[in-house]
Structure 1
Amino acid sequence: MQSTEAAAITSPAEPVGRYRWRICALLLAATTINYIDRQVLGVLAPELQKIFEWSEVQYGYIITCFQAAYAIGLVTAGAVIDRLGTRLGYALAIAVWSLAAMSHALVGSVAGFALARFALGLGEAGNFPAAIKTVAEWFPRRERAFATGIFNSGSNIGAIVAPLTVPIIAVTFGWQAAFLFTGVLSAAWLTTWLISYRPPEQHPKLKASELALIRSDPPEATERVPWARLLKYRQTWAFVIGKFMTDPIWWFFLFWLPKYLHSEYGLTLLGLGAPLVAIYVLADVGSIAGGWVAGRFIKMGWSVNRARKTAMLICGLCVVPVVFVSQVQNVWAAVALIGLATAGHQGWSANIFTLPSDMFPRRTVASVVGIGGFGGAVGGMMIATFTGFLLEATGSYVPVFMMAATAYLLALGVIHFLVPKLEPAQL
């Protein structure tokens, strides 16, 4: 059987197809839409706060509802997708978040927006578990990291597209249209997915040679390791605490930056586009550079432990200057400081996401990532509520930027304390 598969892969008579990359393109589109949908509220927040007269605390509660649902979804989505299968599981997730996104246009109260955000968080939590499972089904092991990197870039693309398109739609057609438009994008993707997606063995457009390539890896161990067992290891807690301390900073940037730029520099809805795009382009650069730096150190002969932590240190230091952002008067100086911080975060994220694969066997990596994602979402809930109360009481963002400046170095200290050599967990 193996010799037959090898012949199918290398046979000049039947070159290996590339249909699997069409599936990857669908995952990229879904992740982009995912981030556009979650960004709409943040981009429109200054205008919606005027229309509905939300207090800062109320806005914080609305964001907290999304984070709470996202945390719950990260715990449950994997099991649901495993039970239903990738095709139906992914369809269910995007159907829920599509309807939730559009439902924002129908509400007008704090409770209504909170409920819509909760539903959006539940649905959106299914995106990454479903996409990662799809990659595992459609790609051989040697191509999975590249395929994952491609679809994951949709997070930064979505963060760039939202401030470019949402203000124009809102100004031209009303704020409700912005939520309806992104929901329609999700619905269009869902239709395409249901029509075109089948498991590789059942797909009529997949060549036998490409299927042989996809299934060319040795069988992987599938024994499930319960969460309760993983929580006994300090390697798990190093990842969870690192995510808990640093993910909230990214959530703050996503949901509060438009409000900050509006309140501090008087930017209008249309004026937010260029600064936000610049910030998230820098974040994209940081994501690529952070992973490249660690890989470069390893190629130089450094140990994985030294290379990974040095790269994380560099990324953490890039966030430190954000503490001075409240002291600058020019909006583009502020954009430069915040952009450097978001670049640092994304570089940090590229490295911290590799820690589970550095320390755990492959069959447990997804579970450890899920636990860490839950920890990060809980941290996001806390910073959303804290920021709301802080702004209501003081009107100052300074304490939050101080937290951002110190969070990464403190998190790296905790990680190094718990896993000084990134030694593998002995399951």
Structure 2
Amino acid sequence: MSYRRGWIAAFLFSLSMINYMDRIALSIAATPIAREFKLTAVGMGYLFSSFIWSYALFLLPMGFLIDRYGTKRMAGVGIFIWSAATALTGAASSFGALLMARLVMGGGESVSNPVGAKVIRQWIPANERGMVTSMFNSGSYAGPAICSVILGSLIALYGWRISFVIAGGIGFVWLAAWLVFFNAPEKAKWLKAEEREKIVRERDTGPVVSASAGAESSGLLSLMRTPTLWGLAITQGCNVYTQYLFLTWLPSYLQASRGLSITHTGLFSAVPYAAAVILCIFVGRLSDRYLKKSGVGSGRRRNAVALAMLAGTAILAVPFISNLTVLLAVFSITLTGIASTTSLNFALLNDLLPNSRDVAKAMAFVVVGGNTFGLIAPIATGHVVAQTGSYDWAFGIAGLLLLAGATVVLTMTRSPMTARVTPPEAEPAV
């Protein structure tokens, strides 16, 4: 991959990284926040989940806006909103203020995945799509890895409020670089003509895309008639449940069940997240090599998605492990599995989607599916802990959902998302 396309991958990686740094900041600070505002496990579960409510609500509108107004403008608006909301979380003086800040943050963050999918379709040749999608998604694990160490130390030294100000400020640095340097490949002045021609020639190769080259957008309602889109969304949901279990409750679990301090919790959490970053990119590269002969349009990437989900089921062993080193290894395998599942599932969506004009809205639909399950995870875990006094069933539920997701992706994503042809007067495109 050219280093110029590498800069696009770096933009996407850092966008996702900042997104998840801001999400996990609340989890790192959960113990002092719960103490200050006198919140129970159930109360914290609702607070953890709150940003997902607005995130899921705004995903589909954001998908339509990104397809209409472009990635540069909408990514800028989104990161400005969520970074400001994150910084202002540090000024919250009540539970209501905390809740409002998280809701605004979630609305802003709804641009991230649709923007990432659209930029990858615009900039990346089809035979590099798996690796670059993995790089984009790996940022969502690099963010928690970095944040766990840095914010854990800041909270221990200066209190929880300053950590949100710093996390929010990082987003504004990214925004400035994005507005200066990013554009579509057809308009980017810093891109050489030879590479521009390669991108435009190879970004839509494969039997699925070639069949519909130059076609108008099918519309989301038409795409929703295909079982493939629903299969991708359900698979994403089964996977994201486990992701949000880790993202919201892992620090509390390590402190309550394993007796770690806030600082040690940050260091312990960083290791499996860091492992997931490296291994997820490696798995994405392997999936591209796996599809080299059959082509991305074959849809065979679904097999890699299923294998990644099966790796994630290592989480089922957590209740039976007492050794912290073994626990660290199991968490690393699980996080690598769910990280790889997300990136491969996103790449599979692009593989099976005929028209690039539908990318953002289709991605938004899949992410809504994921976050429908994701918003349940923090709340369900809070109730499980409150009722049983243990996290064992929380890990069990997550593992069973991963098994279900592997079955869904193998059975429901076996054909391209080719919409039915409907007369324009009967059904206008969405």
Q: TM-score, normalised by structure 1?
A: 0.85
List alignment gaps of at least 5 residues for structure 1: 1-16
1:229 partnered with 2:222: yes
**1:13-412 equivalences in 2 (<5 Å):** 19-139=4-124, 145-200=130-185, 203-216=188-201, 220-221=213-214, 223-291=216-284, 294=287, 308=301, 310-363=303-356, 364-412=358-406
In structure 2, relative to structure 1, the CA distance for the partners of 1:81 and 1:331 (3 Å cut) is same
User: Is the partner of 2:56 in helix, strand or coil?
Assistant: helix
Deviation at 1:202, TM superposition (A): 5.0
2:299, 2:218 → 1: CA distance?
A: 29
Instruction: Give yes or no for contact 2:58–2:107 (8 Å, CA) kept in 1.
Output: yes
Instruction: Give yes or no for contact 1:287–1:346 (8 Å, CA) kept in 2.
Output: yes
User: What amino acid is aligned across from residue 122 of structure 1 in structure 2?
Assistant: G
Deviates more, 1:243-252 or 1:219-228: 219-228
- State, as a whole percentage, how many aligned pairs show the same letter: 27
List alignment gaps of at least 5 residues for structure 2: 205-212, 420-430
Instruction: Give yes or no for contact 1:287–1:349 (8 Å, CA) kept in 2.
Output: no
Instruction: Give yes or no for contact 1:35–1:158 (8 Å, CA) kept in 2.
Output: yes
Deviates more, 1:306-315 or 1:317-326: 306-315
2:236, 2:123 → 1: CA distance?
A: 29
1:93, 1:302 → 2: CA distance?
A: 34
Deviation at 1:307, TM superposition (A): 5.7
Instruction: Give yes or no for contact 2:137–2:342 (8 Å, CA) kept in 1.
Output: no
User: What amino acid is aligned across from residue 310 of structure 2 in structure 1?
Assistant: L
Instruction: Give yes or no for contact 2:309–2:337 (8 Å, CA) kept in 1.
Output: yes
In structure 2, relative to structure 1, the CA distance for the partners of 1:415 and 1:20 (3 Å cut) is closer
User: Is the partner of 2:375 in helix, strand or coil?
Assistant: helix
In structure 2, relative to structure 1, the CA distance for the partners of 1:173 and 1:199 (3 Å cut) is same
In structure 2, relative to structure 1, the CA distance for the partners of 1:128 and 1:310 (3 Å cut) is closer
1:193, 1:78 → 2: CA distance?
A: 19
Deviates more, 1:127-136 or 1:288-297: 288-297
Deviation at 1:380, TM superposition (A): 0.9
User: What amino acid is aligned across from residue 232 of structure 2 in structure 1?
Assistant: F
Count of paired positions: 410
Deviation at 1:93, TM superposition (A): 0.6
User: What amino acid is aligned across from residue 270 of structure 1 in structure 2?
Assistant: T
Deviation at 1:204, TM superposition (A): 4.8
In structure 2, relative to structure 1, the CA distance for the partners of 1:174 and 1:316 (3 Å cut) is same
User: What amino acid is aligned across from residue 246 of structure 1 in structure 2?
Assistant: N
Instruction: Give yes or no for contact 2:16–2:139 (8 Å, CA) kept in 1.
Output: yes
User: What amino acid is aligned across from residue 261 of structure 2 in structure 1?
Assistant: T
In structure 2, relative to structure 1, the CA distance for the partners of 1:73 and 1:179 (3 Å cut) is same
Instruction: Give yes or no for contact 1:290–1:348 (8 Å, CA) kept in 2.
Output: no
Instruction: Give yes or no for contact 2:305–2:344 (8 Å, CA) kept in 1.
Output: yes
User: Is the partner of 2:90 in helix, strand or coil?
Assistant: helix
User: What amino acid is aligned across from residue 266 of structure 1 in structure 2?
Assistant: G
Deviation at 1:102, TM superposition (A): 0.5
Deviations 1:361-390 (A, max 9, x none): 243454333211101111111222212222
User: What amino acid is aligned across from residue 408 of structure 1 in structure 2?
Assistant: L
In structure 2, relative to structure 1, the CA distance for the partners of 1:417 and 1:199 (3 Å cut) is closer
Instruction: Give yes or no for contact 1:56–1:391 (8 Å, CA) kept in 2.
Output: yes
Match of 1:4 in 2: none
Deviates more, 1:332-341 or 1:31-40: 332-341
Match of 1:8 in 2: none
Q: Aligned-pair RMSD on alpha carbons?
A: 3.1
Instruction: Give yes or no for contact 1:290–1:346 (8 Å, CA) kept in 2.
Output: no
User: What amino acid is aligned across from residue 240 of structure 1 in structure 2?
Assistant: A
1:321, 1:143 → 2: CA distance?
A: 29
User: What amino acid is aligned across from residue 368 of structure 2 in structure 1?
Assistant: F
Instruction: Give yes or no for contact 1:60–1:385 (8 Å, CA) kept in 2.
Output: yes
Deviation at 1:248, TM superposition (A): 1.0
Deviation at 1:277, TM superposition (A): 1.4
Deviation at 1:218, TM superposition (A): 9.0
Deviates more, 1:148-157 or 1:379-388: 148-157
Deviations 1:233-290 (A, max 9, x none): 2222211221222211111111110110010111111111221112112323442454
Match of 2:209 in 1: none
In structure 2, relative to structure 1, the CA distance for the partners of 1:85 and 1:309 (3 Å cut) is closer
2:266, 2:203 → 1: CA distance?
A: 48
User: Is the partner of 1:423 in helix, strand or coil?
Assistant: coil
In structure 2, relative to structure 1, the CA distance for the partners of 1:272 and 1:136 (3 Å cut) is same
User: Is the partner of 2:214 in helix, strand or coil?
Assistant: coil
